[in-house]
Amino acid sequence: MKEHTVTVTDNRTGEQIELPVKHPTHGPYAVDIGRLFRDAGYFTYDPGFLSTASCQSTLTYLDGDNGELLYRGYPIEQLAEKSSFTEVAYLMLYGELPEKEPLKKFNDVIIKHSMLNESLSSLFGGFYHDAHPMAIMVGVVGSLSAFYHDSTDISNASHREIAAHRMIAKMPTIAAASYKHSIGEPQVYPDNSLSYTGNLLRMMFSVPCEPYKVDPVAEKALDLIFILHIDHEQNASTSTVRLAGSSGANPFACIASGIAALWGPAHGGANEAVLSMLDEIGHVDNIPEFLARAKDKNDPFRLMGFGHRVYKNYDPRAKIIRQMCYDVLEKLDDKDDPTFELALKLEEIALNDEYFIQRNLYPNVDFYSGLIYKALGIPTNMFTVMFAIARTVGWVAQWTEMIAEENQRIGRPRQIYVGPEKRDYVEIDKRQ
Ligand code: CMC
């Protein structure tokens, strides 16, 4: 990697500190501060990591100013139009688009791993009857290492690969079983003749006593949404997976930690929160009241599905999914759905509002994904689970990349201590 240096002057002491600056393929130069503490005795401070690159990665590039997203160099628009979820999963794991035979082999491997160990299936019954499916996901995925010991040696490349395949393959089965448990229906075994998303739909919506035909509109829509959600560089859940992985934890535990981080409403939980918010708004006439609340600094309410840490112009995924939202609702003859109408009105009003314009707050991918899920009949509490299925590919690819790195070290941030100064212990009867 090309480098130059930057010299920083300490205005307190007059000392000059020279730091290397790394040149990435795309994106801003990065000052390498790795030796700053050792050489100059300083920490850097960046809560929320607004200016901090936590790693080097070959997977995903996003340009927030120009609304650009690349997976392994390929623009998301091209992959969304021409590729499929499993083909993009292959690209993320192995670095190149596959030819026909390797793709077929990869699909076969994923299909072969889609069943769950039977004792694992019985685990679902132990959860409370109305448990949130994301709570079940965190628990069940975390338990995978108790069933698949033969793929937990992180120093073994073939263990790492099998663990990656297993997680990508089993995530739809676990997701569907979580849902089935929450509605009191029997789990449905995977069907190896179906596509990745066709299989998921069947496991979620079929019952053993009736025939089920996968709806091709729903199958295609899910495949596209999943492509859009595969990876998004060092977001909160991916950084969580990397940090957990840096300690040497097994891959299943690391992905479970990613699922937990994804659940929050500021991250993957936003798609569920958008629908809850639209329900709460209820009618177009109430939009001004909710917009006023979103702008009020004393009110914790935020317009869910708006804003992004990196995209300050537009979210390229939102552009694709917005169009898809129209297409799907049209095909499903659902265009007059009042929630969709309300969402479009809210979008229009917010995009013309000074507060949102000034802060570059645009609808993000999750503003629309929930609307499509709703049209496909997916219940609100499964929205974030859908996100987790797709993002599993990104998590395992990021984890694999990190573990394979030479000189990989445990992630261990420092802090600025602002607590009490050093003081002596006071006996209990002398405290005031
Ligand atoms: N509604 C109202 N005001 C907002 C919103 C919002 N959704 N988002 C940001 N702001 C305001 C914020 O109050 C701040 O205003 P001011 O400068 O006056 O203090 C300004 O915009 C900058 O916001 P921030 O909190 O500094 O931005 P951030 O980069 O830390 O947060 C975010 C990004 C996505 C967490 C935030 O925009 C948000 O909470 N959005 C709603 C939740 C959401 O849709 N999340 C999904 C993100 S996309 C899926 C994913 O990748 O996970």
pLDDT digits (tens, 9 = 90+) for 315-332: 999 999 998 888 888 887
Pairing of strands 60-63, 68-71: antiparallel
The pTM for the full model equals 0.93
- Helix-strand-coil split of the chain, %, nearest 5: 55, 5, 40
Mutate to test the pocket of ligand 1, among 60, 277, 359, 387 (most ligand atoms within 8 A of CB): 359
Distances 183 to 131, 162, 292 between C-alpha atoms, Å: 10, 32, 37
Whether 226 lines ligand 1, by a CB cut-off of 6 Å, is no
Whether 304 lines ligand 1, by a CB cut-off of 6 Å, is yes
- Model pLDDT, residue 326: 84
- Model pLDDT, residue 116: 96
CA–CA separation, 64 vs 53, rounded Å? 15
- Positions of the chain with pLDDT lower than 50, given as ranges: none
By alpha-carbon position, which residue is closest to atom 28 of ligand 1? 309
- The separation between CA 30 and the C-alpha centre of its own chain, rounded to angstroms, equals 24
Which strand ranges, in their side-by-side order, compose the sheet holding 30-31?
3-9, 16-22, 30-31
CA–CA separation, 195 vs 202, rounded Å? 10
- Ligand 1 centroid vs 316 CA: distance in angstroms? 17
Ligand 1 atom closest to Cα of 305?
Answer: 44
3-state secondary structure of 62: strand
Mutate to test the pocket of ligand 1, among 271, 308, 387 (most ligand atoms within 8 A of CB): 308
- Ligand 1 centroid vs 308 CA: distance in angstroms? 6
Question: Do 219 and 197 meet the contact criterion of CB atoms below 8 Å apart?
Answer: yes
- Model pLDDT, residue 328: 87
Percent of the chain with pLDDT over 90: 88
Ligand 1 atom closest to Cα of 359?
Answer: 21
Give catalytic residue positions.
308, 366
